[in-house]
Structure 1
Amino acid sequence: MSNQARELLKATEIDAMEPRRSVHPLNERAVRFKKSLSEMTGLTQFGFHLVTLQPGHDSTEYHRHLYEEECIYILSGNGEALIDNHVHEVGPGDFMGFARGGAAHTLSNTGHLPLVLIVAGQRLEQDVCDYPHKGKRLYAAGTNKVFVDLPKDSED
């Protein structure tokens, strides 16, 4: 990093960052390229990421967090948000906020150009995340993560 304060990332530094490629373990189409701005500035309780989805890819597997909150702001590109099994067209300037225990959701790039997003959310030490379309529940405690079958009364 340059001589800038750790708390400040200049646009040129962000542009020069190599994005990290990640694939969701329950959805091979959920391939995203992420620049974690929060990690670069030392934030530990709040995640703030610049995410790019290529055409035909998803942001994640359809899910809901039982304890964490998250939000998404679309910078460029077009796609479809699946929220509580309802499809919504989304594009630049659109914002989505998901309260803990709220609506299940995912986002897909249905356009022909990259879909660029800001994804932000809490980083609780422990969380539970349901994946209703897969019938799975994730228990997360720090770096320990365990998938189990979702209780039948929790599935959509």
Structure 2
Amino acid sequence: MSKHPRELLKAADIEAMTPQRSVHPLNEKAIRLKKSLGDITGITQFGFHLVTLMPGHESAEYHRHLYEEECVYVLSGAGEAAIDGQVYEIGAGDFLGFAREGAAHNLSNTGGIPLVLIIAGQRLEHDVCDYPRKRKRLYVAGPSEVLVDFGHDGTE
């Protein structure tokens, strides 16, 4: 492997990375294999991740951000996107963008091969994330996170 600056990740470097396995605390089926490309290159204001969902796995708990924006580009595989209560088929070349205060969403791999995604999103110091199916709200303030039930903070 040739020497290159931290700002450049070669395809061989990315391929050699060991993905981080994470399970969403509100959804045991949300198991992601993640390579955080932005972290390695020193990016701190937004996340940029190469994410693999194995068959039957989901990206997160169905959610929406009140302040942060995020987007997804499908590299390979097939799945479904749940967006504001509707389900849509997704596949290679599809792009999904979720504006702040936008639609609740979640992705799932419904195919027989890995669903490979690029997921990018803001990393604001403060955010609020709603999980409408669980009737919970997450408050993020720097390193502090507080999860509450709807209704305990004025939400309905």
What TM-score range do you get, normalising by the shorter chain?
over 0.9
- Are 2:45 and 1:45 aligned? yes
Task: Give the total of aligned pairs.
Answer: 155
Q: Which runs of 5+ in 1 are unaligned?
A: none
Kindly indicate whether the alpha-carbon contact (under 8 Å) linking 1:8 and 1:41 is maintained by their aligned counterparts in 2.
yes
Q: What corresponds to 2:138 in structure 1? A: 138
Mapped to 2, the partners of 1:14 and 1:82 lie a distance apart of 29
1:12-91 correspondence runs (5 A): 12-91=12-91
- Are 2:118 and 1:99 aligned? no
Q: CA deviation at 1:131?
A: 0.1
Relative to the length of structure 1, the TM-score reads: 0.96
Cα RMSD, aligned residues only: 1.5
Mapped to 1, the partners of 2:148 and 2:62 lie a distance apart of 16
Mapped to 2, the partners of 1:92 and 1:154 lie a distance apart of 37
Mapped to 1, the partners of 2:2 and 2:40 lie a distance apart of 12
Q: Which moved more, 1:141-150 or 1:88-97?
A: 141-150
Deviation string 1:7-46 (CA, Å, 9 cap, x unpaired) is 1100000000000000000000000000000000000001
Deviation string 1:32-69 (CA, Å, 9 cap, x unpaired) is 00000000000000110000000000000000000000
Q: Helix, strand or coil: the match of 2:23?
A: strand
Mapped to 2, the partners of 1:154 and 1:54 lie a distance apart of 34
Mapped to 2, the partners of 1:99 and 1:66 lie a distance apart of 9
Q: Helix, strand or coil: the match of 1:38?
A: helix
Q: Which amino acid aligns with 1:116?
A: V
Kindly indicate whether the alpha-carbon contact (under 8 Å) linking 1:132 and 1:154 is maintained by their aligned counterparts in 2.
no
List structure 1 segments (4+ residues) > 3 angstroms apart after TM superposition. 151-155
- Are 2:15 and 1:10 aligned? no
Mapped to 1, the partners of 2:83 and 2:96 lie a distance apart of 10
Mapped to 1, the partners of 2:97 and 2:2 lie a distance apart of 34
Relative to the length of structure 2, the TM-score reads: 0.96
Kindly indicate whether the alpha-carbon contact (under 8 Å) linking 1:67 and 1:101 is maintained by their aligned counterparts in 2.
yes
Q: Which runs of 5+ in 2 are unaligned?
A: none
Q: Which amino acid aligns with 1:139?
A: Y
